[in-house]
Structure 1
Amino acid sequence: MRKIFNSLLLAAFIAAIMIIARWIGHQAYSWMPTQATAEAKRVDDIFSFLTSVGAFIFLGITGIIGYSLLTCRAPRGDWSHGHPARSDARIEILWTVTPTLLVLWLAAQSYNIYQQLDIEGLTPIVHLHILEEPATAATVKSDINQLAENIEVIAKQWVWSFRYPNNIVSNELHVVVNERTRLNLHSQDVIHGFYIPEFRLKQDIVPNRNIDIVLTPTQIGKYRLRDSQFSGTDFALMQADVYVDSSEAYSQWLSQTVKGK
């Protein structure tokens, strides 16, 4: 009878910490910057899951330690050894197989997200075609249109510049909401880092390499582009404004920029 009670108590404990861990993982979404691209949701899903797993492990271990301190203390003068867990094959298999499967699953999900970010111009480290998904980031939302613009991003110490169609050059990056945009990344001197936290996008820009990124903005607003690589003194001041506009606002901005030239 006591064995059944202990099993039920353990099951209730596991269920409780699973619920708490899932709640903590859900709160992790609020710890991140605003999701401003379709790709950002997949990245945040992975972060939330990792937070849930970490919370489950932490609560489970601390809970067992606390329970053991309260109920399993040896009497004074008892120096005998406890149950030898090393000889229990079931425990050995459990704590070997479970982390292995978890890490493999996370690797597969991370690879799929990387593929959906649609970064071109990089040499793949490994080809895992069985993990590739034919869908692109454009399928995350049904109202996302086809590729809208090709914008050239030029990085040099210490300024960002952006060349739009019709050879319009600006120090501001403007993209259209719910339309896929291709960014052609170039560096004129050293390695720079293209980093927009709300886009969940951070990509090194290597000299003499053409790197293309296709992204899908989903949230109208103003954001900030930063250089995430140490590219020299005062590199952190190399920033630029990023605007996600409606189609009308984007066309109006282009017209005003042409008139102002």
Structure 2
Amino acid sequence: MQQVPVSLLTLVAGVLVTLVSLWVGQATPLFPEQASEQAPLVDNFFRLMLTIGTALFIMVEGAIVIFMVKFRQKPGDETDGEPLEGNLSLEAFWTLVPAIIVIILGVYSVQVYTEMGGFAPGGLPEMAHHHTHPAPTVEMVAHQEGAGMSAMPPQAKYGIGANPSERGPADLTVSVSGMQYAWIFNYPDGIISGELHVPVGKRVQLNISALDVIHSFWVPQFRLKQDAIPGQPTELFFVATRVGDYPVVCAELCGAYHGGMRTRAVVHTEEDFERWVSENRIAQAPPDSEGLAIHLH
């Protein structure tokens, strides 16, 4: 019986590994829905890594199984195996291939960051300079339902999408303060909310700070996560593309009730967002002092 050439077996195995890896990488059900312009960029990068990782896993585990079966000890064979010392071609292969893969992924990741709006506009000197800033000032703001807390962080200097030259000006800027165990959102015109409300299709910039310990602002459907660091403001930039409610969670262990540090991001149509702003501007407006005096008398 004629034996199948090793080269043909290698070709067939390579084709099968490629097809299976592409199928796993492209058809994976691991992702939640995409709700921002940045989400497809992250998903494509993850799919590439998953495809490469699947191929490497199949090849390595397949080689282990083949060697276990083909070169297992035969019954009654008590001799030692043939001593082997080095294989330059094999060592060069398993050194160069991973190095090339890492370089490709590194270049691709920089491209993804750039398309998401850059990372550090001020460079390392600016980042080091802003480490000397004091912690954000905390103000107690009274309103109809009790006392709320707002933080006015300094100008953020680094973060995902923090380079204006890459992503353009923001249509809406919101200051986000993380504390044990809540997120507080400060909007223009003095609006304060425990939820993030944004219009669909608009460029949104979050200036993020922490009032106590390190937190991490994460919206899975946006594929965006940014640390909130005491004394070091950060930025997060995104464009929401799908109307709906999405969970906002803290992704950094911040204390005993870390799991309860949750809120939601509400993406409105432009008309609904303007209505929400108008309603909250009226509801949170300070009482008229003259009217209050007349009422008291």
Name the TM-score, length of structure 2 as normaliser. 0.72
Aligned to 1:13: 13
Alpha-carbon offset, residue 173 of structure 1: 0.5
Given that residues 176 and 186 in structure 2 are in contact (C-alpha distance below 8 angstroms), is that contact kept between their aligned partners in structure 1?
A: yes
1:251 pairs with 271, 274, 281, which one?
274
Alpha-carbon offset, residue 38 of structure 1: 1.6
CA distance in 2, matches of 1:191, 1:122: 22
Alpha-carbon offset, residue 94 of structure 1: 1.0
2:249 pairs with 226, 243, 252, which one?
226
Give the CA RMSD over aligned residues.
3.0
Aligned to 2:295: none
2:223 pairs with 200, 219, 237, which one?
200
Alpha-carbon offset, residue 213 of structure 1: 1.6
Which letter does structure 2 place at the counterpart of 1:27? A
Rate the CA distance shift 1:135–1:214 in 2: closer, same or farther, 3 A.
same
CA distance in 2, matches of 1:87, 1:120: 45
CA distance in 2, matches of 1:250, 1:72: 68
Alpha-carbon offset, residue 198 of structure 1: 1.3
Q: What SS does the corresponding residue of 1:198 show, helix, strand or coil?
A: helix
- Are 2:207 and 1:184 aligned? yes
Alpha-carbon offset, residue 19 of structure 1: 0.3
- Are 2:53 and 1:54 aligned? yes
Aligned to 2:101: 102
Which letter does structure 2 place at the counterpart of 1:14? G
Aligned to 2:184: 161
Given that residues 14 and 60 in structure 1 are in contact (C-alpha distance below 8 angstroms), is that contact kept between their aligned partners in structure 2?
A: no
Matches within 5 A, 1:19-58: 19-28=19-28, 30-58=29-57
CA distance in 1, matches of 2:3, 2:83: 17
CA distance in 1, matches of 2:176, 2:241: 20
CA distance in 2, matches of 1:255, 1:4: 76
Structure 1 residue runs without a partner (length 5+): 126-132, 139-145
Q: What SS does the corresponding residue of 1:107 show, helix, strand or coil?
A: helix
Alpha-carbon offset, residue 92 of structure 1: 1.7
Aligned to 1:129: none
Rate the CA distance shift 1:119–1:155 in 2: closer, same or farther, 3 A.
farther
Alpha-carbon offset, residue 110 of structure 1: 2.4
Alpha-carbon offset, residue 171 of structure 1: 1.3
CA distance in 2, matches of 1:69, 1:229: 42
Q: What SS does the corresponding residue of 2:171 show, helix, strand or coil?
A: strand
Which letter does structure 1 place at the counterpart of 2:210? S
CA distance in 2, matches of 1:61, 1:190: 42
Rate the CA distance shift 1:246–1:37 in 2: closer, same or farther, 3 A.
same
Q: What SS does the corresponding residue of 2:264 show, helix, strand or coil?
A: strand
Question: Going by fraction, where is helix more abundant, 1 or 2?
Answer: 1
CA distance in 2, matches of 1:163, 1:53: 43
CA distance in 2, matches of 1:123, 1:49: 29
Which letter does structure 2 place at the counterpart of 1:64? A
Matches within 5 A, 1:82-97: 84=84, 86-97=85-96
CA distance in 1, matches of 2:189, 2:227: 27
Deviations along 1:54-108, one digit per CA (max 9) or x if unpaired, are 2212222333344445556676538363584x54322221111001111122222
Deviations along 1:13-41, one digit per CA (max 9) or x if unpaired, are 1111110111011123x202222212222
Given that residues 33 and 221 in structure 2 are in contact (C-alpha distance below 8 angstroms), is that contact kept between their aligned partners in structure 1?
A: yes
Rate the CA distance shift 1:66–1:209 in 2: closer, same or farther, 3 A.
closer
CA distance in 1, matches of 2:69, 2:215: 55
The higher radius of gyration belongs to: 2
Rate the CA distance shift 1:71–1:236 in 2: closer, same or farther, 3 A.
closer
Q: What SS does the corresponding residue of 1:147 show, helix, strand or coil?
A: coil
CA distance in 1, matches of 2:221, 2:92: 41
Q: What SS does the corresponding residue of 1:175 show, helix, strand or coil?
A: strand
